[in-house]
Structure 1
Amino acid sequence: MELDNFDRQLLNLVQEDADQTSERLAEQIHLSPSAIQRRLKRLRKEGVIARECAVLEPKKIGRPTFFIVSLQVERERPELLAELRRWLSREPHIQQAFYVTGEADFVLVVTVPDTDAYDELMSRLVRENSNLKRFTTSVALGVVKRGLTIPVPLED
């Protein structure tokens, strides 16, 4: 799908705040509100905008603990990796999972209420995924930046 500069501007703006009205977006991009609505509909239909979500303030919901986890698998057979990917995708406490190069095979961002909940999650992960070789954990002491924004460059 070809993106023009209006699409690119729109994508940058809705990533920052998807709750903006078409009128507010139109003021910033210099298009009509109806043109903004058509473009958003097309971007959603084409899968450029995969979904929209609310970003919660951790302190307001009980201050969950964040863990960064590196996983190593025993064997990289496609069917075993697919099984692990499905498991990771279904687990609601795993915020993000990346298949990576380097010493680890996967890097996870996990958020749970406390270390007991983390221990239970990781025990289940190991028990239900026999291909897991080892994992290492880093506890996030604080959040410096959190988001999913992907900067969309504007055309020159």
Structure 2
Amino acid sequence: MTDLMLDDVDHDLLALLQRDASRTLRDLGDEVGLSPSAVLRRVQRYRSGGLLGHNVAVLDPRHVPEVILSVCLVTIEDDTPEEGRRYRARLLEAPEVQQAYEVSGDYDYVVVLACVGMRHENEVAKRLFQQDPNVKRYTTLFVLDPVRTGVALPTREPPRGRASAEEVRGATD
């Protein structure tokens, strides 16, 4: 990935794409003051620079009642770079792993799982945590209510002294 220089239009365009990537180039251009072809060139630059991965449909877990979401806190025994790479590879290979983070503090990893039913969740936990000799301990927290899920990332700090778009929307809703 290359470091892309982003201007204000880029930040606005990326925020729009993260909210709804299915919008037309014309619609996006109208929002940010660019022609559809200029929007396309920027989107292509984001892709070629590695900033924009792929477009996906994000399902609301509240509408898929069979899905069990869990957050697993994992401590590993051997934290050498080689073992870290091996464990990360195992997490990346598991389709049930929705998110995985190496973290500081009492745990080494936070892993978010999405499974269909408790039997499936138990099988995945056994495969990723119980059967791995390098996993010292793990704790599973089951999600009771997915209050907010999302994958949008900020691309810049919010301006100081001004309310964020979310704060403004909340005040007017």
TM (normalized to structure 1)?
Answer: 0.93
Q: Structure 1: 5+ residue runs without aligned partners?
A: none
1:42 aligns with 2:69: no
Residue type at the aligned position of 1:124: R
Query: Per-residue deviation at 1:101?
Result: 0.3
How many residue pairs get matched? 156
Q: Tell me which residue corresponds to 2:170.
A: none
1:143 to 132, 142, 146: 146
1:52 aligns with 2:55: yes
Residue type at the aligned position of 2:61: P
Contact 1:88 1:94 in 2 (8 A): yes
Residue type at the aligned position of 2:27: R
Q: 1:29 & 1:63 partners in 2: Cα distance? A: 40
Which residues in structure 2 correspond to 1:1-156 (within 5 Å)?
A: 1-126=4-129, 128-153=131-156
Farther off after superposition, 53-62 or 91-100:
53-62
Query: Per-residue deviation at 1:129?
Result: 2.1
Q: 2:157 & 2:31 partners in 1: Cα distance? A: 14
Q: 1:28 & 1:61 partners in 2: Cα distance? A: 33
Residue type at the aligned position of 1:11: L
**1:143 counterpart SS class:** coil
Q: Structure 2: 5+ residue runs without aligned partners?
A: 160-173
The alignment-based identity, stated in percent, is 33
RMSD, aligned α-carbons: 1.7
Contact 1:100 1:106 in 2 (8 A): yes
1:21–1:114 Cα change, 3 Å? same
Q: 2:157 & 2:71 partners in 1: Cα distance? A: 33
**1:65 counterpart SS class:** strand
**2:104 counterpart SS class:** coil
Q: 2:98 & 2:130 partners in 1: Cα distance? A: 20
Query: Per-residue deviation at 1:146?
Result: 0.4
Residue type at the aligned position of 1:56: L
TM (normalized to structure 2)?
Answer: 0.84
